[in-house]
Chains A and B, each alone.
Chain A
């Protein structure tokens, strides 16, 4: 049982003109077994929310709280958050030259579990996770994300999701830049993770198409650093038909 609770979250980012507030009071509760989709136009603060949960140093939380099962997430370092059970699949996964995928995965798994995985089963687990997302197992010997195509980077994120198996996964525009085949493969990976029953998912997306493959329980519309509206899956369909215009106009005139 785990619950990620975000209360009145205000976040700023440092710019040349000083601190700029991006998130202006976000409230969100993700209980285990629930999938929440966050949708919104560019610049609405969706990615800022994802990075703030993960603890990226670029963002400063000025007000509010984030807790995982009642424990203060904001007091934790980036790696402590991951070990507590949070995972961020990034929109632009980072290349790490000279570090092989297999070394990276084993080091991460060891850090999360607090002990090295059993060698015999681990190699099998890694290969199986790669095969499930149709990634050639030869990628294990390549450097992390280096020379990977956009789709390969996203599949690699899903491999990590499955191997590290967090309590709550934040997927930041994992669907962006994917062709339809890759989108299905990535969605299947997320669905396998969800099917465990007690895992939370925060799915951040600009487009509705991934929601055809990953059915959210709740949809939140993000505009100008706040949740402008929330509802069930039907809200996504409405957004697909009408777009974000009415929310953006409302926020601009507010």
Chain B
């Protein structure tokens, strides 16, 4: 071994350019057999009700064609059917990190590719509607959303209808691009949706992901992001409302693998009704190379009735001391008695005061979305949810 080789090895080790042994992100694999059937005791599965997944985590048939995507796209934007051998597939660098994602990757015969050309500046959001037409056979889909360098666009993906769906969505944000993806799970009550989304964010690019989950029986989203160059910025906002018997899980992972990158994560949820259960796992890894980064993650849960359960686990793993800032916060609580008292002491009836507080809880987040028609729709959805109990 020469001196140069030794030096190279020690530099590589010091910078941990290759592998970081971290509990936050399991090593990925495209091979289904590399991901054993989970028992429910694994860290990444311990909160999820496996019995309600209709075998998605085992070997359930994924050949269903009961999900279809539709969108109107402006001139210049390419919407294409994504075949199993499309060169777009894998372009985000994503490697499945669990069995369901790996199975969906292998089985997906339907899906779409949405490509926004370089330097395009789209004023109106592109709306993709994914409609499920049945739960009898599970479906697997794959989507790739690509924002060309220096483009600016908003993509809204709405999930409606009934389905048992496992999907992978890859998002590639080109250098200097500004992309907002709004995902809305507005499923019927019987839907099961296990979704994985991965974004690779280019140099000086800005990626915003807004994840809204209201409907469905079991919804579990793994949303991850990493960077292909320095200076990228990621904002992930989430809003969820779990009703009686509903399970909603969000697992986030931001991999700060480039210097001068930013991430800001805020998820807010409300729970009402017996058996409503939400899970939020917020993982952030700051690698040695990622000097000068900034990250903050936050989760807030508002428990509106008895019989609900909210799990919230923020994790931050820091491999370098040279950072601008890193922090996280998590809080789960019932109505703030002081807030209710203040409002009621001004003559506002208790039910109205509760509505104000819940609206207020979500309003700050909704105002950040920046897509007026979505903001309006969400305010109405929150109102409709509140009519059920408050």
Contacts and interface: CB of A to CB of B under 8 A. Distances in A.
A111 B359 CA distance: 18
Contacts of B359: 98-99
A55 B342 CA distance: 11
Interface in A105-156: 107-108, 111-112, 143-144
Interface stretch (A88-96, A207-215, A244-252): A88-96
B341 A111 contact: no
Interface string B346-359: 11111011001101
Contacts of B350: 77, 79
B4 interface: no
A54 B345 contact: yes
A98 B346 contact: no
Contact of A79 (B337, B344, B356, B362): B344
Contacts of B39: none
B346 A99 contact: no
A219 interface: no
Contacts of B337: 57
Contacts of A88: 345
B305 interface: no
Interface string B200-234: 00000000000000000000000000000000000
Closest 5 pairs between A and B when the two form their complex, measured CB to CB = A98-B360, A98-B363, A82-B347, A108-B346, A111-B347
Nearest to A105: B346
A107 B356 CA distance: 9
Contact of B349 (A57, A99, A111, A164): A111
Given A97-B360, A97-B361, A107-B352, A160 B339 contact: no
Contacts of A108: 343, 346-348
Given A77-B344, A82-B347, A96 B363 contact: no
Interface residues of B, number: 24
Nearest to A145: B342
Nearest to B336: A94
B357 A160 contact: no
Chain A interface size band reads 20 to 34
A130 to B, nearest CB: 16
B5 interface: no
A20 interface: no
Given A57-B337, A77-B350, A104-B356, A98 B362 contact: yes
Contacts of B342: 90, 93-94, 96, 144
A193 B342 CA distance: 21
A112 B136 CA distance: 54
B338 interface: yes
B33 interface: no
B337 to A, nearest CB: 7
Most chain A CB atoms below 10 A, which of B342, B347, B359: B347
Nearest to A113: B347
Main secondary structure of the interface of B (DSSP, over half): helix
B364 interface: yes
Given A99-B359, A108-B346, A111-B347, 8 more contacts: A54-B341, A79-B345, A79-B349, A82-B344, A94-B338, A99-B357, A107-B352, A160-B346
B359 to A, nearest CB: 7
Contacts of A104: 343, 346, 356
27 contacts: A57-B337, A77-B344, A77-B350, A79-B344, A79-B346, A81-B345, A82-B347, A83-B347, A90-B345, A93-B342, A95-B339, A96-B343, A98-B360, A98-B361, A98-B362, A99-B356, A104-B346, A104-B356, A107-B343, A107-B352, A107-B356, A108-B347, A111-B348, A111-B349, A112-B346, A143-B360, A144-B342
Most buried by B among A54, A57, A81, A98: A98
A202 to B, nearest CB: 15
Nearest to A170: B345
A164 B357 CA distance: 21
B360 A99 contact: yes
B259 to A, nearest CB: 33
Nearest to A108: B346
B363 to A, nearest CB: 4
A87 B356 CA distance: 20
Given A98-B362, A99-B363, A164 B356 contact: no
A78 interface: yes
Given A77-B350, A107-B356, A96 B345 contact: no
Interface string A68-89: 0000000001110111000110
A111 B280 CA distance: 38
A202 B356 CA distance: 29
A56 B346 contact: no
Contacts of B341: 54, 56-57, 78, 94
A81 B362 CA distance: 29
Given A97-B360, A98-B359, A98-B364, A82 B339 contact: no
Nearest to B338: A94
B219 to A, nearest CB: 24
A222 B350 CA distance: 33
Contacts of A82: 344-348
A77 B352 CA distance: 14
A56 B342 CA distance: 9
B257 to A, nearest CB: 34
B361 to A, nearest CB: 6
A83 B359 CA distance: 23
A103 B339 CA distance: 15
A92 B342 CA distance: 10
A209 B361 CA distance: 39
Contacts of B349: 79, 111
A82 B352 CA distance: 14
A136 to B, nearest CB: 20
